Amino acid sequence: MTPIRPELQPELARYRSDYPILAHSVYMNSNSMGAMPRQAADALQKYTDDWAGEGVEVWPHWLDVMRDTADSAARFLNAPPGQTILNQNVAYFQAAIASCLEYSKAKNRVVVESLQFPNVLYVWDRFTDLGAELALVPSDDGMTIPTERMLEAIDERTAIVPLSHGIYVSGALQDITAITRRAHEVGALVMVDVYQTAGAVPIDVAEWDADIVVGGSHKWLCGGPGTAFMWMKPEVRERLRPRLVGWMGHQDPFAFEAPPIRFADDHRHFLAGTPSIPAYYVARAAYENLHEIGVPRIRAHNLALCQRIIDRAQAAGLVVHSPLDHERRTGFVAVDFAGSEEASKRLIDERYKLDWRPNCGLRLGPHFYNTEAEVESMMDRIVALAGRA
C-alpha cells in the first residue's frame, strides 16, 4: 500500500503555550510520556482546595470526579458513558481480569504476542501457577507479529487474548478486528491494551467488538501517571467476578460491611481500594485540549511529521525500525544506527526529548503541539550524530 501523506496543520501551534516544556525543549517523546499541560497545576490546586474546604465530606465530589474522568477517557475509545472505570495502572486491570478466570485444562491458554510490553507479560506469567498456559506468539523481525500467526495460535483451548493495539518496540498496529473475530469463534475473551495508541490513533470499541479495552493517560493523553482506564462490554462485566477486590468495588462502599463483598451491580465492581484522586483531577484537565482538537486531526498532523522523519532517516541511510505504511503504525517512528544509545544521551542533554529502547533505537513521537521546524532540527542532530558513530 502506498503511504499516505497527510497535510500538516500549523494552526495547532496555538496550543503550544499550554505546555511549558516546549519553551525550552524539542519535545518528541509523547509516545513515552506526554508533555505536561499547564492546566495540570490548576487541577491540582483545585484538588487541594476541594479537600481543604470540605474535609472528609469531599468524598461524594471525588466520586463525581472519578465518573467524569472515566467518561472523558471513554470518548477516546468511542465508548458510551457509564461503562469505563479508573485505577492507577494497567497491570492492576490485567491482574483483575486474570483473577476472574478458572484455567481448566480444557480452556486455559492465554495467547499473547511475544512483543507485548513486559509489564503485561509479568502479570500473566504469574497466573501459570494457577494453571494458565502462556502461549507467546513469536515475531520474525522484532517489529511485527503476523496477524495470521496470531489467528493460528487461537484455538478451542484459548481462554483469553490480551493483546496490544500498538507494539511498543516498533509502533506496529495489530489487526484487532480480525483477531477478535477469531477469538470469539472459539469462545475466548479479548482484552486490548491501547496505552500506545489512545489519543494518537482513532479507536472504536464497537467496530473492534473487543470485550475489554484498557489504557492509560501518561503518554499521548498528556495526563500524567496514576490514571488508567478500563472499558468492558456490559454483558461481559455481568459474568466476571474478580478475586482482586477492594472497598470501592462494593455495592455500597461506605457501608463497610463484613465479607463476603457485595459486588456493585454495575461497572464499579472492578474498582479496588482507595483511588488516586489527585491523578484523576489532572487527567480530566489534560484531556480537554485533545477533545477540542479531535483525535482524527491529531492523527493527520502526527502522520505528516512522521513521514518527514522517515524521509530524513532513509535519505541518511539510517534504519527505520517501524512500519513505513502509516495505516500500520502508531504515532512514533523508531530510528536506529550504530551508537544510537549514546546518541540518545547526547540529544537529551541538548534538550531534545526522546527515548531509546533495545532492538529499537530512538523513538520519535511528534504530537499535535510539535512543528515541522522541530522535526527538521531534531533530524539534523540525529543525522549528524549518526555520522560520527
Confidence of residue 9 (pLDDT cuts 50, 70, 90): confident
Rounded CA-CA distance 358/237 in Å is 38
pLDDT in tens, 176-206: 999 999 999 999 999 999 999 999 999 999 9
Q: Running DSSP on this structure, what letter comes out for residue 21? A: G
The mean per-residue pLDDT over the stretch 198-218 comes to: 98
Average pLDDT, the chain: 95
Question: b/e for 358-377, b at 16 or more Cβ within 10 A?
Answer: eebbbbbbbbbbbbeebbee
The strand pairing partners of 135, in sequence order, are 111
The mean per-residue pLDDT over the stretch 274-283 comes to: 97
Answer yes or no: is pLDDT of 6 > 70.
Answer: no
Q: Which grid cell sits at 329?
A: 503504525
Range in 37-51, 196-210, 246-260 the model is least confident about? 246-260
Rounded CA-CA distance 153/160 in Å is 12
Answer yes or no: is pLDDT of 334 > 50.
Answer: yes
The strand pairing partners of 163, in sequence order, are 192
pLDDT in tens, 102-153: 998 899 999 999 999 999 999 999 999 999 999 999 999 999 999 999 999 9
The mean per-residue pLDDT over the stretch 280-307 comes to: 97
Confidence of residue 8 (pLDDT cuts 50, 70, 90): confident
pLDDT at 363: 97
Q: Are 34 and 222 in contact (CB under 8 A)?
A: yes
State pTM to two decimals: 0.95
The mean per-residue pLDDT over the stretch 317-339 comes to: 96
Q: Which grid cell sits at 149?
A: 500467526
pLDDT at 250: 94
Answer yes or no: is pLDDT of 288 > 50.
Answer: yes
Confidence of residue 7 (pLDDT cuts 50, 70, 90): confident
Answer yes or no: is pLDDT of 91 > 90.
Answer: yes
> Helices 59-75 and 277-293, interaxial angle, to 10°?
30
pLDDT in tens, 54-78: 999 999 999 999 999 999 999 999 9
Q: Are 7 and 300 in contact (CB under 8 A)?
A: yes
Q: What does DSSP say about strands 189-193 and 158-164: parallel, antiparallel, or unpaired?
A: parallel
The mean per-residue pLDDT over the stretch 334-354 comes to: 97
Bigger pLDDT: 389 or 150? 150
Answer yes or no: is pLDDT of 4 > 50.
Answer: no
Q: Are 94 and 124 in contact (CB under 8 A)?
A: yes
pLDDT at 2: 39
What is the percentage of the chain residues whose pLDDT exceeds 90? 93
> In the block, which residue shows the cell 470540605?
54
Burial class (CB within 10 angstroms; exposed 0-12, middle 13-18, buried 19+) of 305: buried
The mean per-residue pLDDT over the stretch 233-246 comes to: 93
Chain-centroid distance, C-alpha 347: 25
Answer yes or no: is pLDDT of 359 > 90.
Answer: no
Answer yes or no: is pLDDT of 3 > 70.
Answer: no
pLDDT at 21: 98
Query: Residue 222's closest CA among 369, 13, 65, 24?
Result: 369
CA dihedral sign, ordered 55, 59, 64, 65:
positive
pLDDT at 388: 63
- State the DSSP string of 321-363: -S-SSGGGB-S-EEEE-TTHHHHHHHHHHTTEE-EEETTTEEE
Answer yes or no: is pLDDT of 212 > 60.
Answer: yes
- State the DSSP string of 81-123: TTSEEEES-HHHHHHHHHTT---BTTB-EEEEETTS-HHHHHH
Q: Which grid cell sits at 375?
A: 522535526
Q: Which grid cell sits at 119?
A: 509489564
pLDDT at 356: 95
Rounded CA-CA distance 363/333 in Å is 6
Rounded CA-CA distance 118/116 in Å is 6
pLDDT at 1: 35
Confidence of residue 266 (pLDDT cuts 50, 70, 90): confident
The mean per-residue pLDDT over the stretch 281-289 comes to: 98
The mean per-residue pLDDT over the stretch 344-369 comes to: 96
